[in-house]
Amino acid sequence: MSRVILVTGATSGFGKECAIKFAKNGDKVIIAGRRKNRLEELKNELKDCDIFPLSFDVRNKEEVLKEISSLPTAYQNIDILINSAGLALGLELSPEALIEDWEQMIDTNIKGLLYVTKAVLPTMIKRRSGYIFNLGSIAGSWPYLGGNVYGATKAFVEQFSYNLRTDLRGTNIRVSNIEPGAAKTEFSNIRFKGEIDKAQKVYDGYEPLVATDIANLIFTLANLPSHVNVNSLEVMPTAQTWAGLHIEK
């Protein structure tokens, strides 16, 4: 029996590859994102699969609640939620960073994730079944120069995931926080606001993760027996590791 999967941020990166992976497995996939044209392109790409495009901005609470509550009957019983919508803006140090960038990261990475999760929970709880994947980041655990608010939002995602799972005890709903390291997606293009050359340099000289790596991991976890919950999964490319503690002399 096919499952119903809701993927936010499905227009690019991890979200898009997750949507493709589950759709080709025969699941019903709700692809959510702001860019309607990209949703339609993905639906056409997966024309032989069961795809339902749902266009909304995760930052808009009323829009999120309205769109998810008005899903057609065939897509209402969401089995898996993949909270993939998120972004980083800028790499400036805190004194130079734009507060507008900080606000957009907070609105998307924190509030957006909360709105979608809140909209999906009642059905999962009623059915006593479900799996929620939150896309965190190693930035939520390990600071780096210019990571400031982005890292803080991902630390929120990590702690919220743990607390959400605790709140859901007895419901059979699973929660996993997925924490990728350096991954080559549109992430850096957005972070550097379309400066492609600057974005590309982030990945020069080593082999980073790619979106399909993360999609494959999430798919694997989603197919584990229902009594198994992976609380968090931190994954880096082999070329990446911790830099060690810095001492200014």
pTM, full prediction: 0.95
Domains and CATH numbers, the chain: 4-229 (3.40.50.720)
Phi, psi (deg, nearest 5) at residue 234:
-95, 125
Which residue has 């419901």 as its token pair?
171
Q: Using alpha carbons, list the distances in angstroms from residue 54 to 37, 43, 70, 125.
A: 11, 11, 10, 22
Q: Which residue has the higher pLDDT, 245 or 144?
A: 144
Q: What is the mean pLDDT of residues 194-201?
A: 78
The percentage of residues in the chain with a pLDDT greater than 70, rounded to a whole number, is 100
Mean pLDDT of 70-76: 97
d(CA 147, CA 32): 27
**Largest Cα–Cα separation, the chain:** 64
| Residue 150: alpha-carbon gap to chain centroid | 14
In whole numbers, what is the pLDDT of the chain averaged over residues? 95
What pLDDT, on the 0 to 100 scale, is given for residue 240? Answer: 95
Q: Where are the alpha helices (DSSP H) in the chain?
A: 13-24, 36-45, 61-69, 73-76, 99-105, 113-127, 148-167, 187-191, 196-201, 211-222
Other Cβ atoms within 10 Å of 203 Cβ, number = 16
| Digit-coded pLDDT (tens) for 138-174 | 999 999 999 999 999 999 999 999 999 999 999 999 9
Q: Is 131 a catalytic residue?
A: no
Structure tokens at 171: 């419901």
Per residue in 209-242, pLDDT (tens digit) is 999 999 999 999 999 999 999 999 999 999 999 9
CA 97 to chain centroid, in Å, comes to: 24
φ/ψ (deg, to 5) at 63: -65, -45
Predicted pLDDT of residue 213: 97
Strands 51-55, 28-33: pairing kind: parallel
> Per the residue annotation, which of 150, 162, 203, 206 is the catalytic one?
150
